Amino acid sequence: MQIGIPRETLPGETRVAAIPDTVKKLIQAGHQVRVERAAGLAARYRDSDYESAGATLVDAAQALGAELVLKVRRPDAAELAQMAPQGILLGMLDPFDLDGLRPLAEAGLTAFALEAAPRTTRAQSLDVLSSQSNLAGYKAVLLATQYYGRIFPMMMTAAGTLKAARVVVLGAGVAGLQAIATARRLGAVVEASDVRPAAREQVESLGGKFIDVPYETDEEREIAQGTGGYARPMPAAWMARQAALVAERCKQADIVITTALIPGRPAPVLIQPDTVDAMKPGAVIVDMAVERGGNCPLSVAGQVVDHNGVTLVGLTNLPALLATDASALYARNLLDFLKLIIDAEGRYALPADDDIIQACLVCQGGQLLRSA
């Protein structure tokens, strides 16, 4: 197949959908790979490295006009205008944004949104959310160290003892667990909260303390199990009890990292403004859900703000701040996905009964396959 790798045009997006190593594997499989000039420079991959791997350097129109296009983010109108009718697109396409998906269908594309892959063992190697969230959780802790005016570990010196930082992580999914592990490695005392009871064991295995909110009804316990590895909205009564407990922990914390997201819904509010008002001067909140409205109403997307001495970090797209590694993991995710839609002869072949394909396929032949 003819595969195109365009340069990402979304402001702040530094990742690239293929790295020289994955390009080399595509070439070895018999494909022709077109890489737009400078596509990988922001991620520290040089044009000469792609050429050495066997790719052809081209302009944007030639990369986007390929039979199969690999992207990080959904193409905008200008990019869509350059894509081939009946072309195939792989990327992180925001599968719950129907208004954003319609132009892809109208352009006649067959498009796969990899974020929609099921959380199953078979899909682990192509799980883009996990690969990128893992790095985001790590980076969130490093951002906290940058804006926190003290050190993380306890330190005993001749001038006195410095106490360890107290870190609270809200949401113990992939990003949250990596944040816990990173904060612990830096010497912090860590507590974490999650609606799913299964998260307790994972939190404690990393050295964190689980903030336990008891379930009062069977309904609460059932909802807390989640669906497909994702959290579900909890009943109002449970949320109120969690909010009260989390508020007390946050008031005592030096660092709070929020990671709670529910697919297709605005981010749940976990930290109320009055809780922020009661936090210590110098405390830091890193709101990883800020692109979906934020877990704290005071967070501002793309900004770092000070609220009465508390720093709220609302920087978006944290994986793009680690573009080299984020691109490498993402490119390998795409490579594994391609094995599902390309047959042994190197031709596009769409299996009819594959659960991963059915979950990720968002439009085909001018038809939008997702619904509200």
Active site residues: 119, 124, 127, 130, 230
Strands (E), the chain: 2-5, 32-36, 56-58, 68-73, 88-92, 110-113, 155-157, 160-162, 166-170, 189-193, 209-210, 255-258, 284-287, 304-307, 310-313, 361-364, 367-368
Give the CA distances from residue 283 to residues 58, 99, 358, in Å, rounded to whole numbers and listed in that order.
Answer: 48, 39, 45
Q: What does the H/E/C string look like for 95-118?
A: CCCHHHHHHHHHCCCEEEEHHHCC
Tokens 């909802």 appear where?
A: 223
Q: Which of 241, 250, 235, 255 is nearest to 212 (CA)?
A: 241
**Comparing C-alpha atoms, which of 77, 74, 57, 80 is closest to residue 4?**
57
